[in-house]
Amino acid sequence: MSRDDEYAEYLRGHYGRMLRTARLLTGGDVHWAEDLVQTACTKLYVHWGKVRQGDGAASYADRILINVFIDERRRFWRRRETSTAELMDAEPVSGPDHADRLTVLDALTRLPRRQRAAVVLRYFRDLDVATVALLMECSEGTVKSQTARALDKLRDLIDDPLNNLERVR
Amino acid sequence: MTDLKKLLDEAAGPEESLTDEQLAGAIARGRRSRRHRGAGLVTAAAMAVVVAGTAWTVWPSAGPGGADAPVAGAPAAAEAAGTTCAQLATKYSIVLRRADSAGKPMTPHLALSAASGKEQQYLNHTSQDRATWVFVTFTVAGSSRPAPDAVINVPAPGPHGWTDKVWRSIATTCYPVG
């Protein structure tokens, strides 16, 4: 199987998961989420030879995604909004309860990026503390503290649904 | 926790599959990025070679024999090349001393007196390079006279004198052991 075939096979299996993770990271900004995934996929392709040998494509792709998301704030020239002649809003993603969805996404956008990433990786991706620490390139203690702070904030922001939110797993 | 997991799951929206068009785009972007990265690496390597070459040519201490250069100040070309030990002794007054200025016996050491007499360096059992603070230990030959015909390449002493390496070279060439 050629390099491109392997890469394509991987992407077919994981693109959806990456995009969903990115949507949460960006607080529901569909375009930004697609940008993040696109950048991550490009970087993944560049390093595919190394990743393939190590069999750690999923972990590597996650790490790229998180790094791109966290590091993006350093690019001061980035504009999240640009003026265009036509409206280019994407179709809202359909879901069981649109109001709840918006509340959660809005609450996520109010978290600092590292806290957001910690919550998404821990509770959406179901990764343990050690793996999240590896992905975020920080200590396990930092992951725990970031997660705890994020949960505290989320409790304040989303009252009812999170009343029985577990503190830190 | 279950609530949060469920909420996040719903908020993330449905899982979309990758279209062929998106896949082709991802591969094309990847290839382009890989090409650019390769070109960038080649450019960076070429720049590094140019910078190193320039430094090698312009900066004397980076060139061959740079470590032997004086601690400060570039030597005059004529002084840096082929000097005999006798010339050295005449020009820089290299002497073997066995006592200090008060006449107290000392371990035999080589001393350098500059022409002006203001600057002196000592080559002792322990020699200290004042510029780099490196300590070296070596034995001085018993002879009190330098080998007159030995030729040695030494730079002129800089403001901080000669380095230990130069001293070592003088000692082994002009005052051979044995």
In percent, the amount of chain B with pLDDT more than 90 equals: 0
B15 neighbourhood in chain A, CB within 8 Å:
16-17, 19-20
Interface contact B33-A42, CB threshold 8 A: yes
* Closest C-alpha to A72, from A103, A36, A99, A108: A36
Strands B83-84 and B151-152: antiparallel
Residues B112-166 have pLDDT tens digits of 654 444 444 544 434 444 333 333 344 455 556 667 778 888 777 666 666 767 7
* Closest C-alpha to A111, from A99, A129, A123: A123
pTM of the model: 0.54
Q: Is the pLDDT higher at B17 or at A139?
A: A139
What pLDDT is stored for residue B74 in this prediction?
38
What pLDDT is stored for residue B108 in this prediction?
65
What pLDDT is stored for residue A20 in this prediction?
92
What pLDDT is stored for residue B111 in this prediction?
63
With a CB cutoff of 8 Å and minimum separation 6, the contacts of A9 are A1
Q: Does A41 touch chain B (CB under 8 A)?
A: yes
Whether this model's ipTM surpasses 0.85 comes out as no
Q: Least CB-CB distance to A7: which of B7, B13, B27? A: B27
Tell me the two tokens of residue B19.
């279209």
What pLDDT is stored for residue B97 in this prediction?
64
Residues B30-68 have pLDDT tens digits of 888 888 888 888 888 888 888 888 887 776 555 444 444
* Closest C-alpha to A100, from A51, A158, A37, A142: A158
B17 neighbourhood in chain A, CB within 8 Å:
12, 15-16
Q: Does B23 touch chain A (CB under 8 A)?
A: yes
DSSP string spanning A115-144?
HHHHHIIIIIS---HHHHHHHHTS-HHHHH
Mean pLDDT per segment of 10 residues, for chain A of length 169 residues? Answer: 85 90 89 88 87 74 87 58 55 56 82 91 91 90 93 80 47
> Closest approach of chain A CAs to the CA of B49, in angstroms?
26
Return d(Cα B143, Cα B147) in angstroms, integer.
Answer: 9
Return d(Cα A94, Cα B159) in angstroms, integer.
Answer: 79
What pLDDT is stored for residue B134 in this prediction?
33
46-75 in A: which are within 8 Å (CB) of B? Answer: 46, 48
DSSP string spanning B111-159?
EEE-TTSS-EEEE-SEEE-TTT--EEE-PPPS-SS--TT-EE--PPPBT
- The type of residue at A162 is L
User: Helices A30-46 and A57-71, interaxial angle, to 10°?
Assistant: 130
Residues B87-119 have pLDDT tens digits of 776 666 566 666 766 788 766 666 665 444 444
B28 neighbourhood in chain A, CB within 8 Å:
none
B13 neighbourhood in chain A, CB within 8 Å:
20, 23, 93-95, 101
Return d(Cα A46, Cα A70) in angstroms, integer.
Answer: 20
Interface contact B15-A19, CB threshold 8 A: yes
Q: What single-letter DSSP state applies at residue B176?
A: -
> Closest approach of chain A CAs to the CA of B26, in angstroms?
6
